[in-house]
Amino acid sequence: MTCGFASRSDIAHEDGSRRDPVAGVLTHARSRSGVPWKDRNFETKVRLPKVFHDLVDRFATPNHPFEIGIHVTSHLLSRSRSCRAAIGALAATALLAGCGTSPESAPTGQSSDGPFPRTVEHYMGETEISAEPLRIAGLDSSYADAVLLLESELVAYTDYRQPGLPDYLGDDREKFGTTAESIGDLSSPSVEKLAALDPDLIVSAAVRHEDLYDQFSAIAPTVFSQTTGPTWKENIRLLAEALGKEDVADEKIREYEERARRIGEAINEKHGAPVVSIVRFAGEPTARLYRSTSFSGIVLEDAGLARPASQLEDPDDPTNIMNSISPENLHLAEADVIIVSTWNPGTDSEADEVREAAAQFINNPLWETLNGRKVDVRDDIWMTPVSIQGAHAILDNLAEMFDVDPQNP
C-alpha cells in the first residue's frame, strides 16, 4: 500500500505547522535538526507493532496467508511518534479490512467525536493537539507538579532554587517522573535539551517563558497560561484540557478541597476560629505579608481559616498577593498564629544576606510584642510549589501545628 500526501502549500497553516491530510496529525515545519521538511526527501519502511502480527497469525490460514505492509514516500513525512502513530492507524485499517471487518466496525483510531484531536485555547492563542500527549515537558515547577498529579509521564522540567524534583511530590515522582530530566534553570532552559527529549506537549507560563514560546512550539504543541501563583487551580485544569484528563483534574482538586475543609473545621472547632498570619523574609529590607490571593493564602482560605485584615484580598488590585512592610509596621502581622517562612537561596552568600535582612525584624523589639504563636515553616513548601501536592503538604503542616487529625485518605 502506498500513501500519498498533499503538497506543503496545500496544507500549510499560518503558524508554520502542517496537517497530515491522511491521519490528521499536526507536525511542525522543521525537524529537530533544524532542517526544513521541504528540504528532506527520504523513504521509510514502518515495522508493524506486535499486535498486528498477532492478528495476522490469528486470522491467516495456510491456504489464505496474507501480508500487510506500508511503504511511504513523501517529502513531508515526519519520523516523529505522532507520524508513526498515524501510520500504525493506517496499518490497522488495512489489516482489519483484510480480515473482512466492515469499515463501520473497524477500530481504525480515534473517532471524530472522541477527545482528540482537540484545540486548546490559552494565553498565547490556540494550539491543536492531534493525539493524547504521552511525554510532557512541564517547564514551571507548578506545571511539572501538575503533570505528575494528572498521572502523566513527565520527561522535562526546569530547576528552581534547588536541583531535582522536590520531596513533597512523594510517590508521584516514582510513578510518573522516573525518566524526567532537567533542561536547566527556570530562567534559562536549554531549548536543545528540550528538543532532544522529544516531548509530545510543552506547558509553561508567559510570565516565565513568553520569549521562548515560538521556539518551544517548533518542538511540540505548546500551551501557556499567563501566570502561575494565584491561578494554580485554573492552570491544572488548562493542562488537563490539553491532556484530555479533565475528569482526573476535577477529582484531584475536589479531593484536596474536601480535605482542606475537614482540617479547617477541626482547627476552628478545637481552637475557636484562630486568625492565621503569613510572614516571609526574602532577603529584602522589608517583610512580606501574604494575602488570601497568594498560593498559601488560598490554601488557608480553602481550609476556612481567618486572616488578618492586612492580608485579605486587595480591593484595588486582586492580583496583588502580598504586602511589604518595614520593621515599624510589624503590628500588621499580628494574629493568633504567625507562620514564619524564610527564603532559602542556593548560595551561602545569599543565605547570609537573607539572615541579616530577617534579623532586622526578628531582633526588633516590636517582634516580641506580637502576641501570636510563631511557627517556622519550610519556604519550599509554603511559597514554591503552587500545586495540589504542595497544598497537601501545607495541610499536613496545619494539622500538625494545630494538633488535629490530618484527614489523610
Q: Give the pLDDT of the chain (409 residues) as one tens digit per residue.
A: 333 333 333 333 333 333 333 333 333 333 333 333 333 333 333 334 444 444 444 444 444 444 333 333 333 333 344 444 444 444 444 333 444 433 333 332 333 345 899 999 999 999 999 999 999 999 999 999 999 999 999 999 999 888 999 999 999 999 999 999 999 999 999 999 999 999 999 999 999 999 999 999 999 999 999 999 889 999 999 999 999 999 999 999 999 999 999 999 999 999 999 999 999 999 999 999 999 999 999 999 999 999 999 999 999 998 899 999 999 999 999 999 999 999 988 677 788 899 999 999 999 999 999 999 999 999 999 998 999 999 999 999 999 999 999 998 7
| Nearest partner of 166 among 394, 383, 381, judged by Cα | 381
Give the angle subtended at the CA of 219 by the CAs of 187 and 134, to the nearest 5°.
95
User: Rounded to whole angstroms, how far apart are CA atoms 4 and 146?
Assistant: 40
Fold of 260-401: Rossmann fold (3.40.50)
Locate the domains of the chain by residue range: 2-98, 118-244, 260-401
- What does residue 357 show for φ and ψ, rounded to 5 degrees? -65, -40
Q: What is the pLDDT of residue 346?
A: 67
User: What type of residue sits at position 370?
Assistant: L
Q: Which helix (H) or strand (E) holds 206?
A: helix 206-209
Measure Cα distances from 197 to 77, 149, 155, 158, 190 in Å: 20, 21, 7, 13, 11
**Which residues are within 8 A (CB) of 118 and not within 5 positions of it... i.e. 6 or more apart?**
128, 129, 241, 244
| CA 83 to each of CA 25, 27, 253, 306: distance values in angstroms, whole numbers, following the listed order | 7, 8, 34, 54
Strand, coil or helix: 128: strand
Tell me the pTM.
Answer: 0.72
Query: If you ran DSSP here, which 8-state letter would residue 407 be given?
Result: -
- What three-state secondary structure class fits 374? strand
Separation of alpha carbons 235 and 387, rounded Å = 9
Which residues pair with residue 373 across a beta bridge? 337
Domains 118-244 and 260-401 share a fold: yes
Place of cell 510563631: 374
Q: Per the omega criterion (within 30 degrees of 0), is the bond before 117 cis?
A: yes
Query: Within 10 A of 148 (CB to CB), how many other CB atoms are there?
Result: 28
Q: How many CB atoms lie within 10 A of CB 3?
A: 16
Distances (CA, A) of 77 to 4, 6, 130, 153, 240: 10, 11, 16, 26, 29
169 contacts 389 by C-beta, under 8 angstroms = yes
CATH number of 118-244: 3.40.50.1980
The position carrying cell 530562567 is 187
| Residue 155 CB neighbour total at 10 angstroms | 22
CA distance 116 to 118: 5
How many CB atoms sit inside 10 A of residue 126's CB? 10
**Sheet strands side by side (includes 201-205):** 181-185, 153-159, 135-138, 201-205, 222-225
Q: What CA–CA distances, in Å, run from 354 to 189, 284, 366, 370?
A: 26, 7, 19, 22
